[in-house]
Amino acid sequence: MEIIRLREEYIKLGQALKAAGLVESGVEAKYAIEDGEASVNGQTATQRGKKLVDGDVVEFRGQTIKIVK
């Protein structure tokens, strides 16, 4: 499980995938998210701008990211 620590109140889903090293670019994140490859707290997410806050859990291509403050 990858842990991402928030510097602000939130991080956007596309940025989180990039920060965790699960995608190479924002464009790759955009298409993967639009294709329904990411879920946030068990719900499929299709907006790369979705705001992630403390406690959110992202599943992406078999990997898990936890957002912590």
- pLDDT at residue 2, as a whole number: 93
Decide if 54 contacts 31 (C-beta within 8 A): no
Average pLDDT on 15-36 reads 96
The arithmetic mean of pLDDT across residues 15-32, rounded, is 96
Domains and CATH numbers, the chain: 2-68 (3.10.290.10)
What is the average per-residue pLDDT within 32-45?
Answer: 97
Report the pLDDT averaged over residues 16-37: 96
Residue 25, SS3? coil
pLDDT band per the 50, 70, 90 thresholds, residue 41:
very high
